[in-house]
Amino acid sequence: MTDLPARSATPEALSDPLLELTPEVIQRVREGVAISQNPIVRQHIASDLEKLSAIAQGHIDDRVSGRFRRWVMRRFIKTFFRVRIENPHYIPTTPNVLTANHLNHLDPFLILAFVPPHPYYYILGDARTLYNKRWKRWLLGWAGGVIPLERWWKEEMTVMAAAAQGREDLVELATTIQQDVPNGSSIQQMRQIDQAVQALLTRGDGIMIFPEGRLGEQEGRMHPLKRGTVLYAMRSGVPIVPVAIIGTKDLYFRKRLTLRFGPPVHLPHQPRPKRADIDASLARLEQSFLELLPQHYQEPKGPKLFRRWLNHLFW
Q: Could you give the CA distance from residue 22 to residue 273 in angstroms, rounded to a whole number?
A: 41
CB contact at 8 A, 241 and 98: yes
Residue 126, pLDDT score: 92
Residue 145 covered by a domain: no
Residue 307 covered by a domain: yes
Residue 13, pLDDT score: 33
Residue 100 main-chain phi, psi, to 5 deg: -145, 155
Residue 2, pLDDT score: 38
Residue 12 covered by a domain: no
First to last CA, the chain: 24
Residue 17 covered by a domain: no
Residue 9, pLDDT score: 39
3-state secondary structure 232-250: HHHHHCCCEEEEEEECCCC
Residue 103, pLDDT score: 96
Interstrand relation of 256-261 and 240-246 (parallel, antiparallel or unpaired): antiparallel
Residue 35, pLDDT score: 95
Q: Could you give the CA distance from residue 99 to residue 230 in angstroms, rounded to a whole number?
A: 10
Q: Supply the range of the domain harboring residue 81.
A: 69-120+205-315
State pTM to two decimals. Answer: 0.88
Residue 192 covered by a domain: no
Residue 60 covered by a domain: no
Q: Could you give the CA distance from residue 65 to residue 3 in angstroms, rounded to a whole number?
A: 33
Residue 37 covered by a domain: no
CB contact at 8 A, 259 and 245: yes
Residue 308 covered by a domain: yes
49: Cα separation from own chain's centroid: 17
Structural domain count, the chain: 1
Residue 1, pLDDT score: 39
Exposure class string for 74-110: b at 16+ Cβ within 10 A, else e: bebbeebbebeeeeeeeebeebbbbbbbbbbbbbbbb
> One digit per residue, pLDDT tens: the chain, 315 residues?
333 333 333 323 322 345 788 999 999 999 999 999 999 999 999 998 888 888 888 888 888 999 999 999 999 999 999 999 999 999 999 999 999 999 999 999 999 999 999 999 999 999 998 999 999 899 888 888 999 999 899 899 999 999 999 999 999 999 999 999 998 888 888 888 899 999 999 999 999 999 998 889 899 999 999 988 899 999 999 999 999 999 999 999 999 999 999 999 999 999 999 999 999 999 999 999 999 999 999 999 999 999 999 999 888
